[in-house]
């Protein structure tokens, strides 16, 4: 049986279009269960955790906490910096009563601790949107062309636990730069 050349060309063209459509990258929506680690001079690869509404870096929790303290995971939309990053308690004994968003205060003129709050409870000047990935590093997209990574660590009263800060201005004594990443350490951190 002979086929006409136009039929074969039409079939080949249709096959090519269908193949191209099937391998086209699909946009992901939100990604959940992301753990974040802080890398710096004193916190090399320690997890970021929640304690009483604020972000900390450490292998253990704070010694003097009377409220909620827990490991957390993040949910984010890798394609949209206008979607806040939410947190979930990574614990069988802790749950949050409301949706909590990570926030920073980018333009305060001071270093302020990174925190977690419901949208109506974010401090003045705080933002819950603008977070993005710069490779495996967490950045704040101040604009489409300005990605900032100004995270800092600062000692707490518990050895080996550091507050996670955003530098919106002047440095506090003892602060050290921190890179926040989605990559777990490949070596023991203790």
Give the pLDDT confidence of 52-99 residue by residue, as tens digits: 999 999 999 999 888 899 999 999 999 999 999 999 999 989 999 999
Q: Phi first, then psi: what are they for 122, rounded to 5°?
A: -70, 135
Q: What is the pLDDT of residue 43?
A: 84
Give the Cα-Cα-Cα angle 177, 31, 147 (nearest 5 degrees).
35
Question: Which pair of structure tokens corresponds to residue 143?
Answer: 């604009």
Question: Which pair of structure tokens corresponds to residue 92?
Answer: 């069988």
Question: Residue 150 — pLDDT band, cuts 50, 70, 90?
Answer: very high
Q: Where on the phi/psi map is residue 42: left (φ > 0), alpha (ψ -120 to 50), or beta? A: alpha
Residue with tokens 């000047």: 125
Q: Phi first, then psi: what are they for 174, rounded to 5°?
A: 90, -5
How far apart are alpha carbons 85 and 139 in whole angstroms?
A: 12
How far apart are alpha carbons 163 and 154 in whole angstroms?
A: 5
Give the Cα-Cα-Cα angle 105, 107, 112 (nearest 5 degrees).
40
pTM (2 d.p.): 0.83
Question: Residue 180 — pLDDT band, cuts 50, 70, 90?
Answer: very high
Cα 93 to Cα 80, 121, 125: the distances in Å are: 32, 24, 33
Question: Which pair of structure tokens corresponds to residue 97?
Answer: 């009563």
Q: Is the pLDDT of residue 168 over 90?
A: no
Mean pLDDT to the nearest integer, 144-149: 92
Q: Is the pLDDT of residue 137 over 90?
A: yes
**Quick check: 46 and 59 in contact, CB under 8 A?**
yes
Q: What is the pLDDT of residue 1?
A: 47
């Amino acid at each position: 049986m002979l086929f006409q050349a136009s039929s074969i060309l039409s079939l080949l063209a249709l096959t090519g279009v269908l193949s191209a459509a099937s391998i086209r990258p699909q946009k992901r929506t939100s990604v959940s269960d992301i753990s974040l680690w802080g890398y710096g001079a004193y916190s090399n690869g320690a997890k970021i955790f929640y304690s009483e509404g604020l972000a900390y870096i450490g292998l253990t929790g704070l010694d003097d906490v009377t409220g909620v303290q827990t490991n957390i995971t993040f949910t984010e939309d890798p394609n949209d910096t206008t979607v806040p990053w939410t947190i979930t308690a990574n614990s069988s004994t802790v749950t949050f009563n409301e949706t909590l968003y990570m926030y920073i205060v980018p333009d305060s003129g001071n270093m302020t601790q990174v925190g977690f709050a419901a949208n109506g409870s974010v401090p003045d000047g705080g933002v819950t949107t603008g977070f993005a990935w710069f490779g495996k590093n967490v950045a704040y997209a101040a604009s489409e062309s300005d990605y900032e990574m100004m995270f800092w660590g600062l000692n707490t009263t518990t050895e080996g636990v550091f507050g996670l800060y955003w530098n919106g201005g002047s440095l506090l004594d003892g602060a050290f730069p921190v890179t926040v990443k989605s990559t777990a350490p490949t070596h023991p951190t203790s």
